[in-house]
């Protein structure tokens, strides 16, 4: 199947590639002449680094993503230590608006802080054997008149605490008790096995194949039993 050469749109920290996949036909029953057609669609591949756009902003990237149709797919490739929560919220809003149930995230290397939350936002979450992830509470600074500072901090804390809880606890990635520990300062580090056990990862790229997280855990268990048998 021929795929057209991708177009590239870059911001300071992120790069977006857009490629068009032609219409395709899959045979379901040749004798009965039953086929499944998939219309032409686009794949938007967005490479994520640090959430800290200081110069160009994300206008070009977001404008291109907002042109997506109902069949188009957003593929996010994350290698990020985190950064601005506000910028991450912009991505969240766009994903829900333009790519509902059509967002695939790949943890190419690591996702910490906002990078971890962005990974959790996706519908399909794919990791590699050496990917790692970290949840922690947000960092925030505020300036202004003394009478305003506490009001602003309280308002932002309520907003962000709900956002963090929706992304992490409501999806079952951390328990309520763990979330409270995170709020008061604990960092939660996860390797691939832990991400699979908690449901953070839905799939793992293992030996050139993308398999379900549950299958990967079974493979790990089998390999450990074999290693233990060899040692005995």
Instruction: Look at residue 27 and tell me whether its pLDDT is greater than 60.
Output: yes
Q: How confident is the model at residue 93 (pLDDT cuts 50, 70, 90)?
A: very high
**pLDDT per residue as tens digits for the range 104-158:** 999 999 999 999 999 999 999 999 999 999 999 988 766 777 778 888 888 888 9
How many folded domains does the chain comprise?
Answer: 2
pTM of the model: 0.87
CATH number for 30: 3.90.226.10
* Residue 31 lies in domain: 7-136+187-231
Q: Is residue 96 part of a domain?
A: yes
Pairing of strands 124-127, 203-206: parallel
Same domain, 48 and 108: yes
Same domain, 173 and 113: no
| Model pLDDT, residue 89 | 92
Same domain, 102 and 181: no
Q: Is residue 43 part of a domain?
A: yes
Q: Is residue 173 part of a domain?
A: yes
Same domain, 180 and 191: no
d(CA 77, CA 60): 18
Q: Is residue 1 part of a domain?
A: no
Same domain, 180 and 197: no
**pLDDT per residue as tens digits for the range 152-199:** 888 888 999 999 999 999 999 999 999 999 999 999 999 999 999 999
Q: How many CA within 13 A on the CB side of residue 132?
A: 8
Same domain, 48 and 103: yes
Q: Is residue 120 part of a domain?
A: yes
């Amino acid at each position: 199947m021929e795929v057209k050469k991708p177009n590239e749109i870059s911001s300071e920290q992120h790069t977006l590639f857009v490629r068009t996949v032609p219409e395709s036909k899959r045979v379901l029953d040749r004798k009965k002449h039953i086929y499944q057609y998939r219309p032409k669609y686009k794949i938007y591949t967005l490479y994520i680094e640090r959430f800290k756009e200081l110069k160009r902003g994300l206008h070009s990237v977001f404008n291109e993503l907002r042109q997506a149709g109902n069949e188009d797919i957003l593929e996010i490739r994350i290698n990020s230590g985190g950064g601005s929560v506000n910028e991450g919220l912009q991505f969240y809003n766009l994903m829900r608006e333009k790519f509902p149930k059509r967002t695939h995230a790949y943890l190419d290397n690591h996702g910490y802080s906002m990078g971890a939350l962005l990974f959790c936002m996706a519908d399909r979450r794919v990791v590699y054997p050496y990917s790692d992830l970290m949840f922690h509470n947000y960092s925030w600074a505020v300036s202004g008149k003394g009478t305003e500072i506490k009001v602003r901090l309280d308002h932002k804390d309520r907003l962000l605490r709900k956002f963090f809880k929706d992304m992490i606890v409501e999806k079952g990635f951390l328990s309520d008790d763990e979330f409270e520990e995170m709020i008061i300062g604990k960092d939660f580090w996860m390797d691939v096995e832990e991400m699979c056990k908690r449901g953070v990862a839905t799939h793992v790229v293992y030996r050139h194949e993308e398999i379900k997280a549950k299958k990967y855990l079974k493979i790990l268990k089998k390999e450990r039993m074999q290693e233990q048998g060899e040692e005995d």
